[in-house]
Amino acid sequence: MGYDALNAIMGRYSCRAFTDQMPTDGQFDAIARAALAAPSGMNAQPWHVIVAKDRALIADLEAAGLKGLSELPDRSAYDRIMSRGGTLFYGAPAIVMVAMRPDSGLDCGILCENVAIAAEALSLGSVICGLAGIPFAGARGEEFKRRFGFPEGYVFGMSVLIGHPAKPGKPHDLDWSKLSYVG
């Protein structure tokens, strides 16, 4: 592992343009294994991971998310998204959806980082996407929970868009002012 893991961490970036090409089942299996290997407090594993490859379902979720954003009193987020191409999911062919027990956000975030790093290691693009949660908080929330297969009592935690990058990306620059050593 060693340097390969560090290279994946340092090479990861938020991919915001995907091709139509679906990752392979082997790539999805590796990503799922990375997700399930994530640490959690007291090993509670308060999540359920859903690999969604149904393009119609993803498009419906995206349309509901855009509609939800457009109905907010403050339309600045909606206007920004529309000015960048009008898409929440950037054409990603798949989403790793994380349903979680309520109040498990930290553990869910760790899992999503595992997914993003695994995608990078597999030469795939990814972006951690909280905006996928908008439809789950709206009028169709229960419908989307059912369609994505959320276990009873679970809520939207986070999602990671997955696919082949449409263009090269670059990791963000490291901000060394955010680092201190003590001792």
Residue 19: CB atoms within 10 Å? 14
Q: Which residue's structure tokens are 């009592």?
A: 153
Determine the pLDDT at residue 105. 86
Helix axes 76-83, 55-70, angle to 10 degrees: 130
Residue 173 located in a structural domain: no
Phi then psi for 50, rounded to 5 degrees?
-125, 120
Residue 183 located in a structural domain: no
pLDDT band of 174, cuts 50, 70, 90: very high
* Cα angle, residue 93 at apex, residues 52 and 140 outer, rounded to 5°: 50
Whole-angstrom distance, CA of residue 136 vs CA of residue 120: 28
What's the structural domain count of the chain? Answer: 1
The pLDDT tens digits of the residues spanning 10-60 come to: 999 999 999 999 999 999 999 999 999 999 999 999 999 999 999 999 999
Range of the domain at 62: 11-168
Whole-angstrom distance, CA of residue 150 vs CA of residue 167: 33
Residue 38 located in a structural domain: yes
Residue 132 located in a structural domain: yes
Is the pLDDT assigned to residue 1 strictly greater than 60?
A: no
Residue 174 located in a structural domain: no
- Helix residue spans in 71-128 (DSSP H): 76-83, 105-121
Whole-angstrom distance, CA of residue 121 vs CA of residue 115: 10
Residue 176 located in a structural domain: no
Provide the b/e sequence for 108-145 (b: ≥16 CB within 10 Å): bbebbbbbbbbbbbbebbbbbbebbbbbbeeebbeebb
Determine the pLDDT at residue 103. 86
pLDDT band of 2, cuts 50, 70, 90: low
**Percent of the chain topping pLDDT 70:** 99
pLDDT band of 117, cuts 50, 70, 90: very high
Residue 2 located in a structural domain: no
Whole-angstrom distance, CA of residue 19 vs CA of residue 142: 30
Q: What are 134's strand-pairing partners? A: none
CATH of the domain at 22: 3.40.109.10
Selection from 101, 98, 106 nearest residue 41 by Cα? 106
Helix axes 141-148, 55-70, angle to 10 degrees: 160
Determine the pLDDT at residue 35. 98
Residue 73 located in a structural domain: yes
